[in-house]
């Protein structure tokens, strides 16, 4: 079993304590940190922000730019093998997964998890990817140029749950859609993270108010269970 920290949303400044937790989880003084920004089409501003945040936390930061760079399979393996921490950025989940599958990155990340070769982490789309399906505003759900929402499937399926980020912004919408899923759904507000280490699941938060829930339908009734969240 590996180590995963999946963040429900927020900005780099509001998730700073979670970012500190991720770095400490690597267990190294100056860990190699790899950012995968596929979901944002490798937006350079995003990469720069990540670089500043995690360099300030003592990391050596690099980025895998699948949408703007050209890599051989051997080069990707070499980049992944050097990483002590892998952080997947937010953006378009569906586009991200389609791109990863072209490079076989989905299977490579799963093997990193099962062999516990690096801390795996991410925010929003970068949190959704570790689960069986995710509640998303990917571009494939747009209608007449307006943002739409739906379930993205074909993810890494490390955890057999649906996942919803930004639940503080999507509560009413998700609650109306959750009956479409047979598996329980983990719903995280911004600044909360799902943590799995050595087979144990917990939740952490970088503020004093954000919450985590597990939702599922039982006999046609929506059950919403608030989870214990440890404040960092």
Tell me the CATH number at 49.
3.40.50.880
The parent domain of residue 71 ranges over: 3-231
pTM for this one?
Answer: 0.94
Residue 119 contacts residue 86 (beta carbons within 8 Å):
yes
Query: What would the pLDDT profile of 170-217 be if each residue is shown by its tens digit?
Result: 888 888 888 766 789 999 999 999 999 989 999 999 999 999 999 998
Distance from C-alpha of 125 to C-alpha of 97, rounded to nearest angstrom? 10
Residue 161 contacts residue 184 (beta carbons within 8 Å):
yes
Map residue 63 onto helix, strand or coil: strand
Report the domain count for the chain: 1
pLDDT at 140: 57
Distance from C-alpha of 44 to C-alpha of 128, rounded to nearest angstrom? 22
pLDDT at 104: 98
pLDDT at 144: 55
């Amino acid at each position: 079993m590996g180590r995963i920290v999946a963040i429900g949303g927020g900005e780099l400044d509001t998730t700073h304590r979670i970012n500190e937790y991720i770095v400490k989880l690597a267990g190294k003084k100056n860990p190699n940190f790899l950012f995968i920004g596929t979901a944002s089409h490798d937006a350079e501003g995003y990469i720069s922000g990540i670089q500043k945040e995690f360099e300030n936390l003592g990391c050596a930061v690099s980025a895998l730019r699948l949408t703007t760079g050209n890599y051989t399979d051997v080069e990707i393996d070499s980049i992944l093998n050097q990483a002590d921490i892998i952080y997947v950025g937010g953006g378009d989940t569906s586009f991200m997964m389609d791109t990863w599958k072209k490079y076989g990155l989905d299977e490579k990340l799963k093997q990193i998890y099962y062999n516990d070769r690096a801390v795996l982490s991410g925010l929003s789309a970068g949190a959704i990817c570790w689960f069986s399906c995710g509640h998303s505003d990917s571009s494939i759900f747009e209608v007449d140029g307006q943002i739409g929402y739906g379930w993205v499937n074909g993810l890494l399926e490390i955890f057999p749950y649906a996942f919803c980020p930004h639940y503080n912004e999507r509560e009413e919408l998700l609650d109306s859609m959750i009956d479409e899923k047979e598996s329980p759904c983990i719903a995280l507000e911004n600044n909360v993270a799902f943590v799995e280490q050595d087979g144990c699941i917990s939740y952490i938060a970088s503020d004093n108010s954000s919450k985590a829930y597990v939702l599922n339908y039982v006999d046609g009734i929506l059950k919403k269970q608030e989870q214990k969240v440890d404040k960092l």
